[in-house]
Chain A
């Protein structure tokens, strides 16, 4: 059960953070804010600053009804239907993938793991490919997303059930089962793709990820899931820190290791599956963003979790801006941009500021 005291003590601990750390966080938040504002103005059609500000005013909850401006319907639709949902999606999906990566790397105590490794990506892909292959339209427009979520969770659950041995979750065993089962599911996906050329084209964009055409209903369902998962993860960052020390030590300081591991894995599986279900497979973010956070703030999840969320959100937003604007009017799959932009940034950061942290 979530206790208010837990939230209070989490916030209370934040007061003890030193000035340099606070400054770094402020800069990151400022960067995210600037990136968000710039993103609103970017697009195939040029919308005036004044028009955008008017639209914002009309959107203020409760007060929006008091503002009456003459706004061109096309401008209103561009901002509220095309740009805003995409920007919000980029922020939340980026944050979720960043936090998911930090959690998975902490639980497995392995810096080269990411959320997809526990079967989320292969499961979601199978769901989407089945929808495409059999023309399933059970849930209308949202059939692909719902199938992606259900299959991602199903594969994660199988990985989880197989990995629980004698009532304990072995991290290495779970990792190996996750990788093995992902290969197995990918083989099924490959079989479907091999047998239908048309399917390859349709699945191609999903496999590279895209948030260019996001709808409000998709966000209304997934954003609460992603938000709650991130808040819960942050509230329990101390358990996550202890798990980084290994099961034996975590247990000695009082962590209920099996319960905590299971809860963190499920939170990550649900939130990342929700993100993937609406965006497709956006690679790289979950793997690399936590490292950038650790290089900036050290390894404690007190800082890694919130900073992974902010950096992940900002990074995906910038990638999305590039994907939408670099080859106008075409929109590039965002997975191409995350790889092309993120890898060089990451390598430069590693070389500049890692200070031997990866020597061991």
Chain B
């Protein structure tokens, strides 16, 4: 499914604009990264995409259909969401969380076992969700998104605060999902992930689009400095191009 974002503007009620005139297109079956400094509007943009936030102007089109015309349940059948902060429901087991995700899925709960196997969490489906580590919870939320069985999966900082092993597991799940034809749209803080793992990216600055395109073509020291207020050093490695942050721009 193709996702088109056309001239989206959004402001919190009574607040200043979080997003202003953002436009981009996400083709089916790719990993799309959203980058930018804290407060640049990355998470707000994700939340506009599944109508948690109502945009003030512009439109979000899925295969040409405006999501503002769709019911929440219809949107959930197309778009799943892996939240940044893991919710902590009272005394729920892992399987309960996965059942919640099946709420709007057409084949109700049918893919729970599949999602558990894909994410490697079959052995702790009866564990209390609150007793899991932060990384395990994140992986469960990925499994939940798979259960939801939507074509597009939104991810809000899916790799933040994870140890190396969990981070690799999450990235592996993301790529497996891409292979299955899913479209993944994620907010990432790591330049490496934006550069190496994403097929297309957008960088936001103060709620506006700074640049959008193939990271291999658009990322350079100047673009990254403008986006993150940090000077970057570029160097080539056997594994590809790397960008190393050097110092903040206003650092004396």
Contact = CB atoms under 8 A, between A and B. Distances in A.
B161 to A, nearest CB: 17
A253 B88 contact: no
A320 interface: no
Nearest to A105: B90
Contact of A360 (B50, B75, B83, B88): B88
A106 B77 CA distance: 24
Interface in B33-67: 47, 50-52
Nearest to A16: B109
A9 B75 CA distance: 22
A200 B26 CA distance: 69
A233 B96 CA distance: 18
Given A109-B89, A238-B103, A256 B73 contact: yes
Contacts of B52: 247-248, 251-252
Given A245-B89, A299-B96, A253 B101 contact: yes
B76 interface: yes
Measured as residues with beta carbon below 8 angstroms from the partner, the interface class of chain A is 20 to 34
B231 interface: no
Interface string B1-21: 000000000000100000000
Interface centre among A252, A256, A294, A295 (most CB of B within 10 A): A252
A166 interface: yes
Nearest to A355: B128
Interface residues of B, number: 36
A89 B183 CA distance: 55
The secondary structure that dominates the B interface is: mixed
Contacts of A300: 92-93, 96, 99
A242 B73 contact: no
A298 B91 contact: yes
B181 interface: no
Contacts of B13: 165-166
A246 interface: yes
A241 B101 CA distance: 10
Interface string A289-302: 00000110011100
A294 B91 contact: yes
A357 B103 contact: no
A244 to B, nearest CB: 4
B99 A252 contact: no
Contacts of A254: 72-77, 103-104
Contacts of B74: 254
Contact of A299 (B73, B76, B91, B131): B91
Interface centre among A106, A245, A360 (most CB of B within 10 A): A245
A43 interface: no
B214 interface: no
B148 interface: yes
Contacts of A245: 87, 89, 97, 100
Interface centre among B52, B100, B104, B128 (most CB of A within 10 A): B100
A204 interface: no
B90 A111 contact: yes
A190 to B, nearest CB: 34
A215 B76 CA distance: 49
B92 to A, nearest CB: 4
Given A252-B50, A357-B128, A360-B130, A241 B75 contact: no
B103 A242 contact: yes
Contacts of B103: 238-239, 242, 253-255
A183 interface: no
B166 to A, nearest CB: 20
Contacts of A239: 103
B89 A253 contact: no
Contacts of B87: 244-246, 249
Given A241-B89, A253-B100, 8 more contacts: A9-B108, A105-B90, A165-B13, A252-B154, A254-B75, A256-B71, A299-B89, A357-B128
The 8 A-B pairs with the shortest beta carbon distances in the complex, nearest first, are A254-B76, A254-B104, A299-B91, A252-B81, A299-B92, A254-B73, A244-B89, A245-B87
Interface of B: 13, 47, 50-52, 71-77, 79-81, 83, 87-93, 96-97, 99-101, 103-104, 108, 128, 130-131, 148, 154
26 contacts: A105-B90, A238-B103, A241-B89, A241-B100, A242-B100, A244-B89, A245-B89, A245-B100, A249-B83, A251-B50, A251-B51, A251-B72, A252-B83, A252-B154, A253-B80, A253-B100, A253-B103, A253-B148, A255-B72, A256-B73, A294-B90, A299-B89, A299-B92, A300-B92, A300-B93, A300-B96
